[in-house]
């Protein structure tokens, strides 16, 4: 199973894969960080498509074309805000749902490759080690159900985050 998992330090919007995952917000309006970088690289068609989507609940996934991105598709998902009200276990379950639903969306669309950013660990405040653990555990558990997905990339923006994910995967 871990042979299908890879850590890459890069800007996610530069990856030429079947799909990359966007860390979106519930209203699907332009944001900063990963969302801003993906929208900028994809061009105005992505923003126009999302403006008509009507929003997205935490833990759900929505697939769109990649437009001008090297990736063919973007799968948008919304992580919960770590400091928001609510039970910790419920928020962890919704973060896990982001990974699960994105993998299932990729599989349903016949996509073999998908790259995830460290969902929730930026502006949404998730501690990086906890976010990493949820990501790796959920993806590892879900891969047998997403049989068409042959490669999952954990795309880290900086080397320190790459080291964190490599440690979590037990690879160097």
Query: Residue 31 CA to chain centroid, in angstroms?
Result: 15
Task: Tell me how many helices (H) and strands (E) the chain has.
Answer: 5, 6
HSE-up (13 A, CA, CB side) for residue 66 = 19
Q: Which of 35, 90, 107, 163 is catalytic?
A: 35
According to DSSP, residue 119 is labeled: T
Residue closest to 77 by CA, chosen among 128, 19, 129, 130: 19
35 is catalytic: yes
Residue 160 φ/ψ, nearest 5 degrees: -60, -40
Residue 18 and residue 73 in contact, taking contact as beta carbons nearer than 8 Å: yes
The residues that are catalytic are 35
């Amino acid at each position: 199973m871990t042979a299908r998992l890879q850590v890459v330090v890069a800007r996610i919007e530069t990856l030429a894969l079947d799909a990359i995952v966007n860390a979106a917000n519930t209203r699907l309006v332009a944001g900063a960080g990963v969302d801003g970088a993906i929208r900028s690289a994809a061009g105005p068609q992505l923003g126009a498509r999302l403006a008509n989507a009507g929003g997205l609940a935490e833990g759900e996934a929505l697939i769109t074309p990649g437009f001008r991105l090297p990736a063919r598709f973007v799968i948008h998902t919304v992580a919960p805000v770590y400091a928001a009200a609510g039970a910790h276990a419920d928020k962890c379950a919704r973060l896990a749902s982001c990974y699960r639903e994105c993998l299932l969306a990729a599989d349903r669309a016949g996509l073999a490759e998908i790259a995830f950013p460290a969902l929730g660990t930026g502006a949404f405040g998730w501690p990086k080690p906890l976010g990493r653990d949820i990501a790796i555990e959920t993806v590892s558990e879900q891969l047998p159900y997403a049989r068409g997905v042959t490669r999952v990339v954990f795309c880290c923006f900086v080397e320190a985050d790459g080291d964190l994910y490599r440690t979590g995967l037990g690879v160097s």
